[in-house]
Amino acid sequence: MRLSTSAIALVVGLLINHGALASELPQRWVSAGGALSEWVVALGGEPKLVGVDTTSQHPATLKTLPSIGYQRQLSAEGILSLRPQVLAGTEEMGPPPVLAQIRSAGVQVEMFSAQPDLQALKSNLEQLGTLLGKEAEARALFGDYEQALQRQKNRLVKIQATRQAPGVLLLVGNAGGKPLVAGRDTAADWMLRQAGGHNLATHTGYKPFSAESLAGLSPQVLVFADRALTGEAARAALFKENPILASTPAAKQGRVLEVDPTLLVGGLGPRLPQNLEVLSAGFYPTLSEATP
Amino acid sequence: MTTLVKPRTLFIGLTLLCGLATWLSLALGPVSLPLWDTLRAALRLMGLPIDAHGLEQAELILGQIRLPRTLLGLAVGGVLALSGVAMQGLFRNPLADPGLVGVSSGAALGAAVAIVGSAFLGGLPDVFGPYVLSLCAFAGGLGVTALVYRLGRRDGQTHVATMLLAGIALTALSGSAVGLFTYLADDATLRTLTFWNLGSLNGASYSRLWPLLLVTAGVALWLPRRAKALNALLLGESEASHLGVDVEGLKRELVFCTALGVGAAVAAAGMIGFVGLVVPHLVRLLAGPDHRVLLPASVLAGASLLLCADLVARLALAPAELPIGIVTAFIGAPFFLYLLLRGRA
């Protein structure tokens, strides 16, 4: 019974794949992974999307598409019910048995890298360009991206010749409660460094911090990545609740910045260079005004 | 407590319910298949010579996705409910659940070790990955239960009360170890761990199904043979042994069957709470405490409840999916309360 069904699955798979090749490019896409979906949209693939996962929040129009749930906990039949030709996702997508079932139903499962580095982004964009029939646009996008990051780097070198990198802490999650501090080997750490900040946290991953060690580090800048912590009022409430946080040099001098937490998920996204620039301007307030 | 339903009626009803749940679980899903196609594909899967033309999709969905999932649901639901009966019989307490002897927390610890450990080692080859998690969960459950059982033994006797307390202590200990692993885990690992703890029948495959089906069949055939002994145990340990029951042997069997059954279920589908506690209770409310009825009826009721819960899990948010642990409690708890309160009025 099992043999015969898998044989049929194989035949169906071959038939559908063959059909896809014959009728050019796949027209029905399901995308799992925030940054990846943004790139699909940036390459003009939005009309082809028939479903996205819960981490795909940008642009806001994606939220109107059917949600396939969280990218690590996909459901085979749910995705198949959208009749996609391609399921695009990062290595964070899963669980593996579900991916195998989706593959056996003849859906092309395309894996991309969620690593925050340019090489991974380059191959991601090439792959996406081929699948969407937009090779030239993909190359152009990558070129612009690389240049933007290079400009950012040059600016930093110039600034850091005269100024020291400020000590920064990036706080994630549960507004009002105990925030988690971003340590080494996180996307947040990578972002802080690219923006020219010095991450004061030395642990790995996102860990809760005691108020005492937070005060001991005396950060010059605090960065919040939290959807519930935007705006002055929310921040004032947080400082009122955590007097230690309020006593840091950053809070006293009002050097508190925000980043969109969706930037920290799923590799390098299209909105990153612009956000790095904003962060940098916050890290080096006087000089960034001087440099265009 | 008087019985509401005669055993015969109960069995007929539960068999029908279980059959209906099985059919619904095969026939319904986010992909809508014509009923006629589903039926023909199902008959083809049973080996009947039916023209395969136009049935490819139905057969794929049915054979590769819904059938393994349904079988997994039947086995997990059945074995969890059976283990619940075994534990409630052993502790002579209707509030006992399989977690009491440490099997669930042990399995959770095993799974945490596997998930965090494999992430630490940089991931295992795909061929191993799922099996390592299942094996570690199974071994963890069995190991902690064995320890609880050993701690409960003194002078060749098993002290149920000591075992209960040892179970609570070891559950707390495993809980803190899982907590430590949670703390050490990175973001991605943490999410895998969280979802595993909520349980799911998602991604069921035949290769992970067979061991569980074997264990379930074994436990389901073995435990009903001890129904009379369990009935005697309801009177008390010394009374049971005066009636000629080998009480020590019975306790050992009950603990072993529970560890094996729950260990295998948790290894295959993650933590699914509530079924083991509530299903035996429900059946008892309907048909009284006689284990000759309670044991087989709980298998059917547990399997039906889990399949219904799974239907809700995969249809409610389609094309996304809810973890089933959320649904079992959501469906089961109000129904349970209703039965309890109705008795009072």
Going by C-alpha positions, the residue among A109, A103, A100, A102 that lies closest to residue A29 is A109
Measured between CA atoms, how close is A186 to chain B, in angstroms? Answer: 9
Name residues whose C-beta falls within 8 Å of residue A266's C-beta, 6 or more positions apart in sequence: A33, A34, A35, A36, A55, A90, A92, A114
- Structure confidence at residue B194 as a pLDDT band (50, 70, 90): confident
Beta strands, E only, B108-228? 153-154, 157-158
Q: Of A79, A112, A145, which residue is a domain's last?
A: A112
Give residue B225's pLDDT.
94
C-alpha–C-alpha distance, residues A37 and A92, integer Å: 14
| Selected residue of A5, A92, A203 to mutate for chain B interface (largest B Cβ count, 10 A) | A5
> Picking from A174-188, B27-41, B201-215, B239-253, which range would have the lowest pLDDT averaged per residue?
A174-188
Provide the residue range defining the domain that includes A17.
Answer: 2-112
What's the CATH code of the domain at A103? 3.40.50.1980
- Minimal Cα distance from B322: which residue of A? A69
- Minimal Cα distance from B318: which residue of A? A78
Provide the residue range defining the domain that includes B320.
Answer: 7-27+65-344
Tell me the pLDDT of chain A (292 aa) as tens digits: 455 555 555 555 544 444 444 457 999 999 998 899 999 999 999 999 999 999 898 899 999 999 999 888 899 999 999 999 999 999 889 888 899 999 999 999 999 998 888 899 999 999 999 999 999 999 999 999 999 999 999 999 999 888 899 999 998 865 456 778 898 888 889 899 999 999 999 888 888 887 778 878 889 999 988 776 677 777 787 788 778 888 889 988 989 998 888 887 778 899 999 999 999 999 998 654 444 4
Give residue A20's pLDDT.
45
C-alpha–C-alpha distance, residues B200 and B62, integer Å: 18
Residue A174 lies in a domain: yes
Record the tokens describing residue B262, joined without a space.
């729950």
C-alpha–C-alpha distance, residues A72 and A74, integer Å: 6
Residues of B with CB under 8 A from a CB of A: 29-32, 45, 47, 52, 56-57, 59-61, 63-66, 126, 129-130, 183, 185-188, 191-192, 195, 200, 202-206, 208, 314, 317-321, 323
| Cβ <8 Å between A96 and B126 | yes
Residue A156 lies in a domain: no
Residue B209 lies in a domain: yes
Residue B56 lies in a domain: no
Q: DSSP letter string over B277-294?
A: HHHHHHHHHHH-S-HHHH
> Picking from A283-287, B69-73, B240-244, which range would have the lowest pLDDT averaged per residue?
A283-287
Mean pLDDT of B101-129: 80
How many helical (H) and strand (E) elements, i.e. helices and strands, does chain B have?
15, 2
Q: Of A76, A94, A112, which residue is a domain's last?
A: A112
CB B87 within 8 A of CB B97: yes
Query: A15-45 burial, b for 16+ CB within 10 Å, e for fewer?
Result: ebeeebeeeeebeebbbbbbbbbbbbbbbeb
Name residues whose C-beta falls within 8 Å of residue B304's C-beta, 6 or more positions apart in sequence: B14, B17, B18, B21, B77
Mean pLDDT of B152-171: 91
Average model confidence (pLDDT) across chain B: 89
Give residue B122's pLDDT.
66
Record the tokens describing residue A56, joined without a space.
């795909």
pTM of the model: 0.85
DSSP 8-class letter at A225? E
Structural domain total, chain B: 1
CB A260 within 8 A of CB A229: no
Structural domain total, chain A: 2
| Cβ <8 Å between B191 and A75 | no
| ipTM for the complex shown | 0.84
- In this structure, the dihedral spanned by the alpha carbons of residues B251, B255, B260 and B261, taken in order and rounded to 10 degrees, is 90
